[in-house]
Amino acid sequence: MSGKNRQMAVKQVRGPFLRLAPHPQACQGDAALGEWVRQWRAENPGSLLGADLFSGAGGLSLGLRQAGIEVVLAVDHDVEAVETHGHHFPGLTVGWDLGDPGVVERVARIVRECGIDILAGGPPCQPFSKAGRSKIRDRVRRGLRDPRDQRRDLWRSFLEIVSLARPRAVVMENVPDMVLDREMFILRSAVLELEQLGYAVEERVVQTRRYGVPQFRHRLILVAVLPPHRFTWPAETPEQVTFGLATSDLPRVEGGWRPEGGAQGWQDYPGAKTTFQRRMRAGVPEAEQDRLYDHITRPVREDDVLAFELMDSDTRYSDLPQEFKRYRDDIFDDKYKRLDANKSSRTITAHIAKDGYWYIHPEQNRTITVREAARLQTFPDWYRFAGPPSAAFRQIGNAVPPLLGQAIGEGLTSALSSSADRPQSSEATAHSLAQWFNQLTDLRLPWLRATTRWQVLSAEFLLDRVTANSAHSLWPLLERWTDPGQTLAHREELQTIAGWIQRGDRAHEITAMAEWLVGAGRSEPNEDTLDEMVAAKIIPPAYADIARLIIACTDDVSGEEPVIINKGVLRVAANFTGEAVNARNRLTDGRIAVARMIGYGNDARSAHLALMEISNTCCQSSTPDCGACPLSADCAFARTSKISDPGAPAPRTARHGELPPGRSLSGFEAESSPELG
């Protein structure tokens, strides 16, 4: 194929541009909403009302409505999304900026005065500087709120509205990656603040496919309810919906096809074939049963049609013949992706508004249509999207799938209609752990009480996976050398000590690390130095995080507390929660479970160290000793284990030498090491 053909332009097809009228029961202003709510309450006693902040096109709002919760207030800053939401929902839908403190106070007043029961939303969570995290953490821990006269980050605005309005329940959703960073800063601080406000909080990374959504899509969902209520996660759907089951009833179309009649034009609809398709058609007006709206997509270049023809669902962009490639395949090896009719779709994102090549139809040589994207997000066929097709794609990609919203809504309606015991808060669990740890006089991992990061790194290199007796005998010798210079001054003694446990090679590694630090002029590794050491492969990332956790760097304003996940800590979390977080989604479910146990208050650091000590002492996989564990009263494993019968011995401090070989902080089962004489 010639270069001329490869540069062939796509025929431009603009529109159609859809305009949507406001809902017949739309309210104009706060006072009108208040009057409408009073009338609604009178006509629907006992009903639940909701507000959706950062509402977008209304996916979460629709799901809540399908669960019996009427959303009467929605706020977003996307003009077309506001028009879409305002067309489908009664009440007040506004395009306000929730970064404005005045708007925050106004929204909180509306929620409070209208008696709105459920406040929901998906605030964007932007990365923070270490200084910013430190400032927010300090204010949250002291029970303070952000100053009202400053613009704030949008997730902080959401929590500020909660604190001012105190709704009965809160739902916060987001992309997992935005809150599951190394420190889990946003999630942990949000949980702490909500608990300080009196809410019982549950959070989970949800795979939407397990709730009937025909795509692989993970969302972080946080639900908080005021006592005496408690949220329980809804049961998952046993049957999973594939692309074919979701869309096989939709007629064939060519890329770039547009119906006559512009935005109000339609395609003939032949009829539903599957349960899911019938669900998507439910609610379509009788006069429109034979019509399908928005089944349109982008035009396709002639050379792309040929490329698509060569692809199946396993073909990567890098597999295509060179003449079909317009992008570097070493960077964009998955630039084109044909979906599989027999599997769930890949995640529909807002990026589809700019580039549909990730979403090539399984059988037709085109990218998916607006209606197909809406189906994959579980928007019913009667739901329309304001603006041009690009705006519709963007709104769909940004939305919460309504079926997921419905599942969460049904869990909320159940929770708010019954009473339940309040679960122990993260703060309370962390306090119990920290109190236990701070009273210990004999640690299985004695370097948990090191005074410098150099001591931590030295111990991790030399003493990980050694027996308890070896650790306790050798730690006092390593502890004497608080900086790399002192270790270098005693390198021969270090080599002798390492030889006692056949770890001379480890002594060489410690010496090389010390020489690197001295050469860099760093007596105590700070945050940047630790990152440099990891980049240079002088230390593994896990060692850097352990050093950060045990010793807060004095020249770093953040006091960063990374959430460290290893086999031992995950085992403790799994036993405590009664869920297999150590085997399923370790980097999501496991991290959340550990974060819930250590909280984000003043006890967090000591609580995390306590989990490490517990995993190496009383919560060993082969010899659990629930009677010695500070978590036994609230631990799911202890409640069901014969070990924790009413006659179990009182908690005690485990002493070294009593247990089988331990684990490293970063790691895994202990190796066999000779004891010192």
* Catalytic positions, written as ranges: 125
Q: Give the DSSP H or E segment for 70.
A: strand 69-75
Tokens read off for 432: 């119990």
- Give the pairing of strands 169-174 and 118-121: parallel
Alpha carbon distance 73, 111 (integer Å): 8
CA distances (Å), origin 659, targets 165, 572, 618: 52, 16, 9
Q: Residue 425 in contact with residue 197, Cβ under 8 Å?
A: no
CA–CA separation, 311 and 525 (whole Å): 51
What separation, in Å, do the N-terminal and C-terminal C-alpha atoms of the chain show?
Answer: 78
d(C-alpha 671, C-alpha 677), whole Å: 18
Contact by Cβ (8 Å): 154, 579: no
Q: Angle at Cα 486 formed by Cα 485 and Cα 489, nearest 5°?
A: 90
Q: Which residues contact 668 (CB under 8 A, 6 or more apart)?
A: 465, 566, 567
The answer to whether 533 touches 516, Cβ cutoff 8 Å, is: yes
Longest dimension (CA), the chain: 91
Q: How far apart are CA 466 and CA 656, in angstroms?
A: 12
The alpha carbon of 455 is separated from its chain's Cα centroid by a whole number of angstroms, namely 34
Query: Do 588 and 205 contact (CB within 8 A), yes or no?
Result: yes
Helices 567-577 and 591-598: crossing angle in degrees, nearest 10, is 80
Q: What distance in Å separates the CA atoms of residue 195 and residue 172, rounded to the nearest whole number?
A: 14
**Three-state DSSP class for residue 387:** strand
Query: Are the beta carbons of 399 and 59 closer than 8 angstroms?
Result: yes
* 3-state SS assignment for residue 222: strand
Q: CB within 8 A of 405, min separation 6: which ones?
A: 59, 60, 61, 62, 63, 64, 66, 67
**Residues pairing with 172 in the sheet:** 121, 222
512-537 burial string, b = 16+ CB within 10 Å, else e? ebbebbeeeebebbebebbebbbeee
Q: Residues 561, 549: contact at Cβ < 8 Å?
A: yes
Residue positions counted in the chain: 677
